[in-house]
Chain A
């Protein structure tokens, strides 16, 4: 049997692993609700990780690192926005190009830092509460990224469903032509949504390189951006489901490590593939059950106003 200390550490690491996914997918959810499918999440994330790491390493400030990562994510998302929103190019192709570009830029920025190490973001401990058995460390012993991701989630959930801005954003994603006819600036709103997605992906990258695994390696995102994209579908474009999905996938990716540790005789490569297999299974199950319900009707449809 596991003792309480080990269980507590496992739960805490699940939360940490889930946070990267939650941040990245939250941004993508907002972009997709506005009707833009940005497949550049992986690229924006890895650029955020590289720029965040380089800044933090140079300045010694994790906060500056995180801010730089967010800005880097936004910059790359603007490349996508100019292509897909303003020039109305194919969103899938533009998103893939964004990812490839991001991986290249990140490799370039990060190359001087290969082999270095940072002190990761500190855990925000609360005397007494953090020492609670099992759940103490999971709830009260996390770094600032974790709490920020949950605040962002709450903000997005409230903003989308309860504010006029959220209503307009959903309307733009649902039927851009009608939104334009009603006088809403479709391309401006889509650009802002894409930028929010870039900021969140950059922050997710910063979480990876500044807190979760505080070092730099060129392929450190390891497909998490793609899982984040799948999570948005998994959540049926609803923020609260996104929370469940991110933590479920976080759990799978951590538990497979521990299963490897037990030495069950299953090849480790197979276990490492579990999160990705789970992604495929979840997507198939969801599309079989719900037949694509919840997808914004205008998702992936470029909008060009008549003149």
Chain B
């Protein structure tokens, strides 16, 4: 650390000056500048599509800027590939981890380090790093068996063993329980205390205000401001990010609840081997007019729950899922839709919509059983097209061209389309997995308002989300999913972030206890 004699203590470790990157007609980064100084936690703030990921990829050599300069310790550098940036002490923990499921932790770490090191020696170094920074990781476990939080710690350990001077964390808390986030923050404080710099990419404003010394805000690929987050309010940061005030979803709790629309009774599904995606004894009732949220960290059975409800994974016991008084546990998705249910899965491209089919054809995917559009096996194109146009008009879906392929839409617009497609079928039950994941703030607010309005009309809505703030904002009751079990739902007014966070991490806390005794 003493090589610069501290004479440039305040000079930037890594600086981007006027970086520009184009993808075809899209300018992903337009003269973006950023300076990361030693010992600071620097936030990179922006909405989805603001250009954060592009900037990070240029900082670490995964992308080459079209113009602009990178300075390392004040000297211009070029990073033709990730290895060259790592040699200069820049390490990245990506949002989608660069891990290998079939390999062990120590093998994964070895792949990130230059040169050869015997695995037992490396395992010992991992243990030392784990101790020093409080990152619970076992070297000889297979990565495929680890929870998301553990995987993230593997990534961080791998970066730290390379002794980085700048650690870049890409949306690190989006996959963590509140508890796990706290322990990550402690690790970050230890790292900056050693004079390293951390670039913390996030759109969670409260976190940024608590943790970061400085924040650079991007919007639409442009540099907007560098601010001191402690001097800002969440609202003022949000204004910088979005460029306008973000409306909050009105909570309408005045209407009466009606009949039960969805009954889940003792629903159990066996796991399919390696991952714990099984469901254990799930029971839940949702009545007409209410929105029930399912909170939880990704990978705790939410996907299995969605598939069990949509009919992609039928179960033997028909009574386990009752839709609008009809036992539906053994029915396929089309039969369940005929009962008045609508489903919006998490993955937009490939699950909710076929990427290479036109939007109008995508309408057909969930409406083919409804009678109006398909008669005697023949698709009535004019009716289909009218339906498509109504979705586009009512749900403000924006795109270029007349009827583009689904993959050409932005995330927010495609999500509005997918939700609109289900809502227009006038369902009595809507099951929505991650309604606003990867969607910009304005579209997210529109989607939440739409679901709220649908509930007010007497639809029962089940929302599965990993965004706790979202669930607290617009659902009536919240249940928590952890390791395939669902807690009894609690009215939002009677619960708190802390209580839900505890239930989310409950099972994981138990895990840590197990590891502790294991190590001792």
Task: Decide: B107 and A178 in contact? CB cutoff 8 A.
Answer: no
A262 to B273, CA, bound (A): 47
The count of chain B contact residues (Cβ–Cβ below 8 Å) is 23
Please state if A178 and B110 are interface contacts (CB–CB under 8 Å): no
Find out whether the CB atom of A181 lies under 8 angstroms from the CB atom of B103: no
Count of CB-CB pairs between chains A and B under 8 Å: 55
Q: Does B18 contact A (CB under 8 A)?
A: no
B98 touches A183 (CB 8 A): no
- Within 336-395 of B, Cβ neighbours of A (below 8 Å) are at none
Contact of A213 with B by CB under 8 A: no
Contact with B along A214-256 (1 / 0, CB 8 A): 0000000000000000000000000000000000000000000
Residue B140 interfacial (CB < 8 Å): no
Q: Is the CB of A181 within 8 A of B62?
A: yes
With contacts A181-B62, A183-B86, A306-B62 taken as known, whether A164 is within 8 angstroms of B116 at the C-beta atoms is yes
Contact B97–A178 (Cβ < 8 Å)? yes
Taking CB atoms, residues of chain B closer than 8 Å to A183 are 81-83, 86
Instruction: Report how far A170 CA is from B116 CA in the complex, Å.
Output: 16
Give the contacting residue for B94; candidates A174, A181, A184, A297; CB below 8 A: A181
Residues of B within 8 A of A167 (CB): 103, 107, 110-111
Q: Which of A179, A182, A296, A306 contacts B63 (CB 8 A)?
A: A306
User: Which residues of B80-135 have CB atoms within 8 Å of chain A's CB atoms?
Assistant: 81-83, 86, 92, 94, 97-103, 107, 110-112, 116
CB closest chain-B residue, reference A177:
B98
Let me know if A307 and B103 touch, CB within 8 A. Answer: no
A170–B102 touching, CB < 8 Å: yes
Does B64 belong to the interface (CB within 8 Å)? yes
A184 to B83 Cα, complex, angstroms: 8
Q: Is the CB of A297 within 8 A of B63?
A: no
Contact A164 B110 (CB under 8 A): yes
Q: Are B116 and A178 in contact (CB under 8 A)?
A: no
Interface size, A (range): 20 to 34
Judged by DSSP, the binding face of A is helix
| Nearest B residue to A237, CB-CB | B102
Q: A residues within 8 A CB of B92?
A: 181
- Report Cα–Cα, A52/B76, bound state, in Å: 55
Set of chain B residues within 8 Å of A297, measured between Cβ atoms? 101-102
Asked whether B405 is an interface residue with its Cβ less than 8 Å from the other chain, the reply is: no
Question: Known contacts A164-B110, A171-B111, A306-B57; is A181 also within 8 Å of B98 by CB?
Answer: yes
Contacts of B112 in A (CB 8 A): 182
Q: Mask for A159-187, Cβ within 8 A of B = 1, else 0?
A: 00000100110110011011111111000
Q: Complex Cα distance A180/B83, Å?
A: 9
Whether A307 contacts B64 by the Cβ 8 Å rule is yes
Once bound together, how far apart are the Cα atoms of A183 and B81, in whole Å?
Answer: 7
Which B residues touch A181, using CB under 8 A?
62, 82, 92, 94, 98
Q: Which residue of B lies closest to A163 (CB)?
A: B116
- What's the minimum C-beta distance from B52 to chain A, rounded to whole angstroms? 15
* Given contact pairs A171-B103, A306-B57, A306-B62, A178 touches B83 in the complex (Cβ within 8 A): no
Q: Which residues of B contact A174 (CB under 8 A)?
A: 100-103
Do B103 and A170 touch across chains, with their CB atoms under 8 A apart? yes
Do B82 and A175 touch across chains, with their CB atoms under 8 A apart? no
- Complex contact A178–B57 (CB within 8 A): no
CB neighbours of B83 from chain A (8 A) = 183
Check A175–B100 contact: CB distance below 8 A. yes
Nearest A-chain residue to B81, judged by Cβ: A183
Bound form: Cα–Cα A291–B110 in Å: 29
Which residue on B lies nearest to A179, using beta carbons? B111
Q: Is the CB of A175 within 8 A of B81?
A: no
Give A174 to B144 CA distance when docked, in angstroms.
Answer: 12
- In the docked arrangement, what's the CA distance between A179 and B82, Å? 10
Q: Closest CB of chain A to B157's CB: distance in Å?
A: 14
A267-307 contact mask (Cβ, 8 Å, vs B): 1 or 0? 00000000000000000000000010000110000000011
The smallest C-beta distance from A277 to any residue of chain B, in angstroms, reads 30
Residue of B nearest to A298 (CB): B100
Indicate if the CB atoms of A175 and B57 lie closer than 8 Å: no
B134-172 CB mask vs A (1 if < 8 Å, else 0) is 000000000000000000000000000000000000000
Quote the shortest CB–CB distance from B355 to chain A (angstroms): 16
Across the interface, name the chain A residue whose C-beta is closest to B102: A174
- 10 A-B contact pairs sorted by A residue (CB < 8 Å): A164-B110, A164-B116, A171-B107, A174-B103, A179-B100, A179-B111, A180-B62, A183-B83, A291-B273, A297-B101
Q: A167-B107, A178-B97, A182-B82 given. 10 additional CB < 8 A pairs?
A: A164-B110, A167-B110, A168-B111, A170-B100, A170-B102, A174-B101, A175-B101, A178-B98, A181-B62, A297-B102
Across the A-B interface, give the 4 residue pairs with the lowest CB-CB distance, nearest first: A183-B83, A178-B98, A181-B98, A174-B100
